[in-house]
Amino acid sequence: MDPIKNQISAIDPLKAEPQVMVDGEEALHRMLTGPVVFTDGPTAGVTPLEDRRRRRFRIAGALALGAAAVTGGILVASNFGQVSSTPAPATTVTSTQTVPSATATQTAPSATPTQTVPSETPSAAAVVQQTFAFPDGHISFKYPEGWTVRIEQGPYLNEQDKAGAVIAVVSDSSGAEVARIFSGMYGDGAAGRVKRTVLDHAPVSGITEAAGNPVEFGFASDQILPVTYEGMPAPTETADGPVYYFMDVRRASEFQSGETSSGSNQIPLPNGIMSAYVVFDFEKQPAFATPDAAREWMATEQYAQLKALLLSLNYQ
């Protein structure tokens, strides 16, 4: 057999066919133009036509399901959006209801001081209604309604100064003498070393000392210290003297706590000397048994009235 024919015969798919001697050109023509025959049997590496059709249908079905799932997801997401937006107004209403309660909480404390302030420290306007003026018209002060003021002759050095020496004696509604204000040309007194404790003080705006020094109202206690002199033997122990309380008007520099001079409540003014002070019971010394008792008295209405009276002093 021709070698070419042998090669053609080796690759012929129809090996089982009997060996027939045919013309090579005719055989090649039949292979190229003849019908193609397929087999349903399993062939390696070749996918059957029916399987291809089924796979195409499965892919189409999967795509359809995917599209449906996407569409459903969009609809579900739209529904969730509507549901989640529904509670928003409820939240807004809740916060709106909370705001008034916070406002009420802030308003409540402001009412408390308004109620407590008058009971702790009555204002001067609430306790002072009447005005007293000395005969020469220079010094005046205010005092509560129901209190009285009477005039007494004050100390003087000569007849020429007698008429101008006047003491205004102030009594409360029970008739008890509570304060004295003097105006005249007379002044005296002595000073010593004391240990001072200032409990309260405030400027008296209507009075200025003739030298221009500011004047204050004050409430304080003095403890008298031993008087020392040259050649005095050193004390063997600390000796504390008696304590006395005073409430008056004096130079502002004298209302400082610590060891100092006892000073004086005599204020030089253009028309002479003024002294203004609260009258304590001289038979009861000290006027208060303890510093705490003195501080308790500072919270009373009587203290507020006397303080307002001294603060109202005015010179013109």
At 71 the pLDDT is 43
At 7 the pLDDT is 57
Is 43 contained in some domain?
no
Domain that holds residue 14: 3-33
Is 206 contained in some domain?
yes
Q: How confident is the model at residue 304 (pLDDT cuts 50, 70, 90)?
A: very high
At 170 the pLDDT is 98
When divided into structural domains, the chain yields a total of 2
Q: Which residue has the higher pLDDT, 303 or 68?
A: 303
At 191 the pLDDT is 86
Residues 199 and 303 grouped into a single domain: yes
Least confident of 23-37, 125-139, 176-190, 248-262: 23-37
Is 174 contained in some domain?
yes
Report field, pTM of the whole predicted structure over 0.85? no
Is 17 contained in some domain?
yes
At 290 the pLDDT is 93
HEC profile of the chain: CCHHHHHHHHCCCCCCCCCCCCCHHHHHHHHHHCCCCCCCCCCCCCCCHHHHHHHHHHHHHHHHHHHHHHHHHHHHHHHHHHHHHCCHHHHHHHHHHHHHHHHHHHHHHHHHHHHHHHHHCCCHHHHCCEEEECCCCCEEEEECCCCEEEEEECCCCCHHHHCCCEEEEEECCCCCEEEEEEEECCCCCCCCEEEEEEEEEEEEEEEECCCCCEEEEEEEEEEECCCCCCCCCCCCCCCCCCEEEEEEEEEHHHCCCEEEECCCCCEEECCEEEEEEECCCCCCCCCCCCHHHHHHHCCCHHHHHHHHHHHCCEEC
pLDDT beyond 70 at 301 = yes
Residues 286 and 142 grouped into a single domain: yes
Mean pLDDT for 168-175 is 97
Is 161 contained in some domain?
yes
At 282 the pLDDT is 78
Is 71 contained in some domain?
no
Residues 21 and 134 grouped into a single domain: no
**Which segment, 22-36, 49-63, 124-138, is predicted with the most confidence on average?**
124-138
Is 280 contained in some domain?
yes
Q: How confident is the model at residue 190 (pLDDT cuts 50, 70, 90)?
A: confident
Q: Which residue has the higher pLDDT, 53 or 40?
A: 53
Residues 153 and 16 grouped into a single domain: no
pLDDT beyond 50 at 78 = no
Residues 174 and 289 grouped into a single domain: yes
Residues 130 and 16 grouped into a single domain: no
Is 89 contained in some domain?
no
Residues 310 and 180 grouped into a single domain: yes
Per residue in 241-293, pLDDT (tens digit) is 789 999 999 999 999 999 999 999 999 999 999 999 999 987 888 999 999 99
